[in-house]
Amino acid sequence: MNSAITTRAAVLGTGQTEHRTRRTDVSMAGLCREAIDRALADAGIEWSDVDAVVLGKAPDLFEGVMMPELFLADALGATGRPLLRVHTAGSVGGSTAIVASQLVQAGVHRRVLAVAFEKQSESNAMWALSIQPPFTMPVGAGAGGYFAPHIRSYIRRSGAPPHVGAMVAVKDRRNGALNPHAHLRQPGITLESVNASPMLWDPIRYDETCPSSDGACAIVIGDEAAAEASDRQVAWIHATAMRTEPTYFAGKDHVNPRAGYEAARALWRAAGITDPLEQIDAAEIYVPFSWFEPMWLENLGFAAPGEGWKLTEAGETGIGGALPVNPSGGVMCSNPIGASGLLRFAEAAMQVMGRAGEHQVEGARTALGHAYGGGSQFFAMWVVGTAPV
């Protein structure tokens, strides 16, 4: 797949909104522009430097807007430029970054703007995710209802102690308190307070789920010449990978999905990484429910199957640990669904650019950005680094 790459690409700048439950002060266009204007400023470029725009957006039913790329074209600066929309459910932000990077790597464009957004307050994602075709039982209960049984399977298969989910929640929410953009910032959260929160979709508690957020994220990706023209540190894109599998098929492993496993292997190979736990300095992993941290640590190859929770329990996924996971607070602190994947990719870039502020992992030179979507159906990930490969 990488044989098609003709030039190296790098993240020149990132921008994100102040993520909140309701951003009633801005329209969808205004929300996107808050992120875009910050990304252009961070990259040190003007609109005239942008060659193409790629928009990522989760399912249309989430806001009830068919083809948002159509009415957002002016706000996205797309008039007179190519505009593409990417659509891979919750992983869409990650896929959007990868599509934008490939447009640069293939030599089609010099600088591409990637944008993703979600205004969850304008709809109800649980409602939108619980509509089922007439030949299945109407038992859907949103993303939590979908993923909770698989978390139960993980706990059973791995033998993980029940407090691991709460430990991730505490770690992520405290990290979020270091991130001025985060929706939930809870420096005082404790294992006791998480365990005292209501059980929503047993075994998932209220404090072990992501919030519903309004927010957007944008990044500018440039080619080698654009990166060299930048007077700031860029994040070189070392490798990208995407894989897909059906939502349901006989033999589907919801705990360790094959598409995620194979994407990770392809990613490490392309990035020249042989020991991810040793060689990755920070990871932004799509963790919408706290238990997904240990599950994805295994799926990504940071730990053997059944062993991921041991890294979490030992505190190795905190800032300062062997593998800081979600130093930004991650999806557990901000979940504008369509933007959440791009936020993971942007936060990974911010780490290796040294621009992560208070949640900076000291000395981070190589970082992972990861997203998944649908019923663990779509996987997108990249490795970025301070130096080109």
Partner 1 sequence: MEIGFDYTRSLGPVLSRFMTALAERRILGCRGSDGRVHAPPLEYDPVTYAPLTELVEVGPAGTVVTWTWLDRPLDGQPLDRPFGWALIRLDGADTAMLHAVDAGSKDRMRTGMRVRVRWAPEPVGHIRDIACFEPLTDSPPTLPGPTAEPVTMVTTPIHLRYRHTTSTEESRYLRGLAEGKVIGQRCPSCGKVYVPPRGACPTCGVPTVDDVELPDRGTVTTFCVVNVPFPGQRIPPPYVVAYVLLDGADIPFQHLILGCRPDEVRMGMRVAAVWRPREQWGTTPQNIDHFQPSGEPDAPFNSYAQHL
Pattern 56-85, partner 1, x by CB under 8 A: -------xx---------xx-x-x------
- 254 sits near partner 1 (criterion: CB under 8 A): yes
- Least spacing, CB of residue 353 vs partner 1, in Å: 25
Options 204, 221, 235, 339; binder of partner 1; rule CB under 8 A: 204
Footprint (CB under 8 A) of partner 1, residues 140-159: 140-142, 144-145, 148-150, 152-153, 156-157
Size of the residue set binding partner 1 (CB under 8 A): 61
* 275 contacts: CB under 8 Å, gap ≥ 6: none
Three-class HEC string of 222-283:
EEHHHHHHCCCCCEEEEEEEEEECCCCCCCCCCCCCHHHHHHHHHHHHHHCCCCHHHHCCEE
CB 365 within 8 A of CB 202: no
Measured CA to CA, the distance from residue 290 to residue 379 in angstroms comes to 18
Footprint (CB under 8 A) of partner 1, residues 33-52: 33, 47
* 133 contacts: CB under 8 Å, gap ≥ 6: none
Pattern 224-253, partner 1, x by CB under 8 A: ----------------------x-xxxxxx
Compute how many other C-beta atoms are within 10 angstroms of the C-beta atom of residue 159: 8
Tokens standing for 242?
Answer: 């995407």
- Least spacing, CB of residue 157 vs partner 1, in Å: 7
Identity of the residue, 136 or 274, whose beta carbon is nearer to partner 1 in the bound complex? 136
- Least spacing, CB of residue 75 vs partner 1, in Å: 5
337 in helix, strand or coil?
Answer: helix
- Least spacing, CB of residue 9 vs partner 1, in Å: 23
Options 1, 21, 22, 362; binder of partner 1; rule CB under 8 A: 22
Tokens standing for 209?
Answer: 């789920």
- Least spacing, CB of residue 85 vs partner 1, in Å: 18
Options 1, 2, 6, 25; binder of partner 1; rule CB under 8 A: 25
Length of the chain in terms of residues written: 389
State how far the alpha carbon of 296 is from the alpha carbons of 7, 94, 152, 281, 283, in Å: 31, 16, 15, 16, 11
- Least spacing, CB of residue 189 vs partner 1, in Å: 20
- 255 sits near partner 1 (criterion: CB under 8 A): yes
Compute how many other C-beta atoms are within 10 angstroms of the C-beta atom of residue 265: 14
Identity of the residue, 55 or 235, whose beta carbon is nearer to partner 1 in the bound complex? 55
Count Cβ atoms within 10 A of the Cβ of residue 260 and give its class: 0-12 exposed, 13-18 middle, 19 or more buried.
buried
Peptide bond connecting 203 to the previous residue in cis, omega within 30 degrees of 0: yes
Stretch that binds partner 1, among 121-129, 226-234, 327-335, 376-384 (CB under 8 A): 121-129
- Least spacing, CB of residue 25 vs partner 1, in Å: 7
Tokens standing for 252?
Answer: 């589907």
Options 126, 229, 277, 322; binder of partner 1; rule CB under 8 A: 126
Interface contacts to partner 1, rule CB under 8 A: 22-27, 29-30, 33, 47, 63-64, 74-75, 77, 79, 119, 121-124, 126-128, 130-131, 133-142, 144-145, 148-150, 152-153, 156-157, 198-204, 246, 248-255
